[in-house]
């Protein structure tokens, strides 16, 4: 039995997901969130899965990638707006990595502390 949701997901997979892991993960997330309307018990099961230590580690990795992406994107935008700075790309990259580290260390410490506090309070699932 095909519903509009499964048809859209299947066709989208056929069209886009050829080797595009991030797109696939995004589609799985969208599917999971849509279950709150289409299948609430499944949605609750998925939310319980998101509260596991494995997903907490995934959130830390996602935060690291997000911070890197934001800083690197800013570096590229600055270089695009000031073409004469491209010759200093090596220095700009070094500064970008330093900024990523400065932003990332407290971010990961806070996130990891909150996750650990949650698991110590409610237990590991």
Q: How confident is the model at residue 2 (pLDDT cuts 50, 70, 90)?
A: low
Is the Cα dihedral 81, 66, 6, 16 positive or negative? positive
Per-residue pLDDT at 110 exceeds 80 = yes
pTM beyond 0.85, yes or no:
no
Q: How far, in Å, CA of 33 to CA of 35, rounded?
A: 5
pLDDT tens, position by position, 22-40: 677 777 778 878 888 888 8
Q: What are the C-alpha distances in Å from 119 to residues 65, 122, 124?
A: 24, 5, 5
pLDDT tens digits, one per residue of 47-73: 888 788 888 898 899 899 999 999 999
């Amino acid at each position: 039995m095909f519903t509009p949701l499964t048809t859209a997901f299947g066709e989208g997979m056929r069209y886009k997901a050829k080797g595009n892991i991030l797109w696939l993960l995004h589609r799985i997330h969208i599917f999971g969130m849509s279950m709150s309307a289409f299948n609430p018990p499944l949605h609750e099961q998925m939310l319980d899965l998101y509260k596991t230590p494995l997903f907490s580690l995934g959130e830390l990795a996602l935060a690291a990638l997000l911070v890197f992406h934001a800083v690197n994107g800013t570096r590229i935008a600055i270089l695009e707006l000031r073409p004469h700075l491209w010759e200093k790309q090596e220095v700009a990259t070094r500064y970008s990595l330093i900024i990523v580290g400065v932003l990332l260390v407290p971010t990961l410490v806070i996130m990891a502390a909150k996750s650990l506090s949650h698991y110590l309070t409610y237990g590991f699932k």
